[in-house]
Structure 1
């Protein structure tokens, strides 16, 4: 399927999904409802103060015409006071709406944090580009929509009724013109929304694609540079950006067109009233049974008529923004919908004995896959080393993530057990060392105590000794206070791996999960890492996913994984 086809195709059940997204979007406003309600109240007050201000201005104009100096002064005072009240009410309404938006965005980001981080125990996974997009942009899209639309739901009917009531009270024919014009606006708004929906879908798809391209480009910059492919990647990035520009321009064009249609209707209504009032003041038109128009009456009607349509303009703008918010709500809902209501929190490990692991009829299948990635029954005895070997993509890393509790099995159960405890995996209760060591732009000390910030200096030194880092630390310019560059700049791959071992040791976990811990190391470095692991994991249970023969040879038991199935590769090894 081409990209253009992706934009155009609608999946079956789109209407039902859109209805669910609409309901979910509405529910998202709950954290800010209090602020939105207050904002709507102050918007209504702003309208009332504005009507009063224009009344004062019309009164002043009438007083000038009648040469009533006292009335002129009082009219100007009333105009000044009500102008201040209008500004204050408008500022307060905006501030309250912003607070409501902040509450909505914060709640959405909390939900996303719970869904995207491993603490949620989700089966499905979200790509980093989409996750960042949802966390940074989409939450604000939903919040901004509610900040605009929710106060209007309270203020718009009251404001329009107030303007209509004042207009009818001073001159009812002008109110009839407003009522007749109003009937045309909802239809225009509905057509505008349907017209804009397709463009919003295309813009969302283009944004998602550009995010993915940018993220992949940055992550693979070194590889692209080494392969001489930066030019081609730049062209891909340019194409994705141009596609987003076209989609955005299309949305703006459609919004402009629908807005222009509404402006024509509103302008026509105001023009009719203005023409009628002008002709009536000149004495050319007189509607039977209508009150006589004076300067005060005519000027007040002309000033408040545009206010009648202001809420409708704002609702039209919110209607366009709703399509953007609907796209955002659908994307966020897809991320959080399968997050369990109750999850095991990450915590400092409490188990003080070696931890055995039991896999009972464990099955795991990735979303969209047609077969199980893992189909395993196994037991890992406490205090032993077990190596899991197999081809790349056979499921070794997935199996480790199930044991760690980073993923929930699609079926079956994973249990940790000691002589006194049998429980589900606890996030943070195991130590994880992988083939890619994440080092922060911080000191060596801070990188070691990343998982245990409150660790004492003595505990850090023990971790350094266990990982065989003492000689490395002594060779650094400032020892443990040496600052590492981004990505661990300043230490070798083997030294970075030792820092990861020290970090894991400091956690105090009795279950270690190692994912290719000696990958990309030469023979000497690999031997040193194996020795460091032996020291650091003394008395602990260790499960290793590896291709390395020397590392597998150091294990008590070696299992092979093939198409997700575990089977013995060789008997217990006597080291």
Structure 2
């Protein structure tokens, strides 16, 4: 195809998209959409922010009264009017107390609003990051922690600064301008003329901040990932003798973040310096004019007489006129940082389906069968299905799913559990009287990595059912074959395990996980490589424990282990993403 034909086809496609309404949003539209989402995040704290803005405006009015009292006192001192001096000092003290109180209360309310915004974002992130949210894509631990801890605060701090300012800034500036114009209008004209120079500087500040915030965000994300991966893989790094090399990688990532941060600071300093020059120029012009007028060198036609009270009051309130502008300029830098944070949070939150089956205590008292009907699953961005399955798992049976590493066994289990939603087709749980979609929390899950908390054995088992009685815990211990293990522990069930399960072997930790699952009372068990990394004896003990604990339950197990597959009633094989028909285990 020639260049002209290419151009013609491109134009035709763009026109067709615009005609049928499917035109892709441009950068400006995407930015507006991001701004709208960022604004929406302020909703939980909007009430507090509104009160804070009102009090900020009140603080400005009280501060004007305060400076007026001070200027009045200075004029009284010059005129040697003792009585007016006293009343001026009293008025200054009376205005100072509520002014300070209003400022402190405004800051407190803004902080409360920021906490409300951060809490709301963290609740949304928690719902999106937990497996029960039914997300299709995965978020790395480093990015999740970064979003939960840092990014929410970036958004909350931005709103705490800017939302009250939107209410208070116009009122405060108008009040200062009105007072200045009332006492000496030429000074007010200088303020108005100088104001016209500020929007351009604020726009430049925003452009500077945008690029710097993107660089800093990228460097922070990279450093978080390097730190987390380094700690998680420290044992492996030590065994490979790669700790020093990893340390250099960590240093490099930290230096990149340092450079990005310094770049942001330089940009902020430059734009702040320009802002300060404009403000200083305005105040200097007014100060020079007032000084020359008081000395009698300058007189503006039709301007009111300038005395010490008028001149001093104008000089005291002029900086107050520019304070909201200075705060808005500072907010431009924070806005770009908040926009980048909101974009990352939004990417996590909006990847969660709008409707999710709510988690519930297991209510099914019969063994649960599983039906997979034309199920297809594809990860976001992939060009092919990871899983394609049509199968029936009969109630009360053991089904083993085998296949090479990465073939999709764990993904299939997550679809059965309801942790993910299929891209096509349907997954159903069924008993003799019920047929339903997977209910989150309604099945028991035992994985190849057992999560044990820094707590007692009892507390780790009771994670499956916090309100379990001692009798129920003992029954779970017996079902998982933990009795002999507990006898070897110094305090039995009250033995405290170290973080990550320090104090018990891998096989013993696996049996604690089985006891925990048994305690839930679920009639559907999903096992993801439950005997991985175990020696032959430990594997045999875990298989026996599973057989006891799942008596009468439906079990679907993903495994590479031949002994575990041989214990199943049926074996399914995933090959090239497709789940093959069932065949007897003894036929293997």
- TM-score interval w.r.t. the shorter chain? over 0.9
1:88 matches 2:104? no
Match of 2:33 among 13, 20, 25: 20
Distance 2:489 2:27 in 1: 59
- Kindly state the Cα deviation for residue 572 of structure 1 after the two structures are TM-superposed: 5.4
CA deviation string 1:239-279 (max 9, x = no partner): 00000000000000000000000100000000000000000
Residue aligning to 1:161? 174
1:332 aligns with 2:340: no
- Residue 149 in 1 paired to residue 162 in 2? yes
1:237 aligns with 2:253: no
1:138 is matched with 151
Q: Deviations over 1:284-320 (max 9, x none)?
A: 0000000110111111111111110001001111111
Q: For 2:138 and 2:576, how far apart are their aligned partners in 1?
A: 21
In the alignment, structure 1 residue 127 sits paired with structure 2 residue 140: yes
Give secondary structure in 1 for the equivalent of 2:580.
Answer: strand
Query: Secondary structure, in 3 states, of the residue corresponding to 1:519?
Result: coil
Alignment of 1:526-541 (within 5 A): 526-541=539-554
Per the normalisation by structure 2, the TM-score is 0.95
Question: CA separation in 2, counterparts of 1:365 and 1:341?
Answer: 19
Instruction: Compute the displacement of 1:521 (Å).
Output: 0.9
Q: Is the 8 A contact 2:110 2:164 kept in 1?
A: yes
Q: 2:432: which partner in 1?
A: 419
In the alignment, which residue of structure 2 is the partner of 1:3? none
1:38-89, Cα deviation, whole Å (9 max, x unpaired): 1001000100011001100000010011111100000000111111111101
Aligned to 1:50: 63
Structure 2: how far apart are the matches of 1:531 and 1:307? 78
State the distance in 2 between where 1:497 and 1:15 align.
53
- The equivalent position to 1:172 in structure 2, one of 180, 185, 188, is 185
Superposition deviation, residue 529 in structure 1: 1.1
SS for the counterpart of 1:450 is: helix
- How far does residue 361 in structure 1 lie from its aligned partner after superposition? 1.1
Deviations 1:416-452 (A, max 9, x none): 0000111111111111111111111111111111120
**Matched residue SS, 2:432:** coil
Where does the alignment leave 5 or more consecutive residues of structure 2 unmatched?
1-23
For 1:395-406, list aligned pairs within 5 A: 395-406=408-419
Aligned to 1:212: 225
- Residue 331 of structure 2: which of 318, 321, 336 is its match? 318
Alignment of 1:415-494 (within 5 A): 415-494=428-507
Deviation at 1:563, TM superposition (A): 2.0
Map residues 507-546 of structure 1 onto 2, 5 A cutoff. 507-546=520-559
Q: Distance in 2 between matches of 1:341 and 1:549?
A: 41
Change in 2 beyond 3 A, CA 1:236/1:149: same
Is the partner of 1:340 in helix, strand or coil? coil
Query: Following TM superposition, by how much is the alpha carbon of 1:569 offset from its aligned partner in structure 2, in angstroms?
Result: 6.2
Give the conservation status (yes or no) of the 8 Å contact 1:32–1:99. yes
Q: Do the aligned residues in 1 keep the contact of 2:209 with 2:332 (CA within 8 Å)?
A: no
Q: Is residue 555–residue 573 contact of structure 1 (8 Å, CA) maintained in 2?
A: no
Deviating beyond 6 angstroms after TM superposition, the runs of 4 or more aligned structure 1 residues are: none
Secondary structure of residue in 1 paired with 2:149:
helix
Contact 2:397 2:569 in 1 (8 A): yes
Aligned residue for 1:272?
285
SS in 2 for 1:490: coil
For the residue of structure 2 that corresponds to 1:415, the secondary structure is strand
Give the conservation status (yes or no) of the 8 Å contact 2:565–2:585: no
Deviations 1:444-487 (A, max 9, x none): 11111112011111111111111111111111111111111111
Work out which of the residue numbers 105, 111, 128 in structure 1 matches 2:124.
111
Structure 1 runs not aligned, ≥5 long: 1-10
CA RMSD after TM alignment: 1.3
C-alpha distance in 2 between matches for 1:358 and 1:395: 18
SS at match of 2:463: coil
Q: How many residues in Structure 1 have an aligned counterpart in Structure 2?
A: 565
SS of residue matched to 2:389: strand
Contact 1:382–1:418 (CA under 8 A) maintained in structure 2: yes
- Is 1:497 aligned to 2:510, yes or no? yes
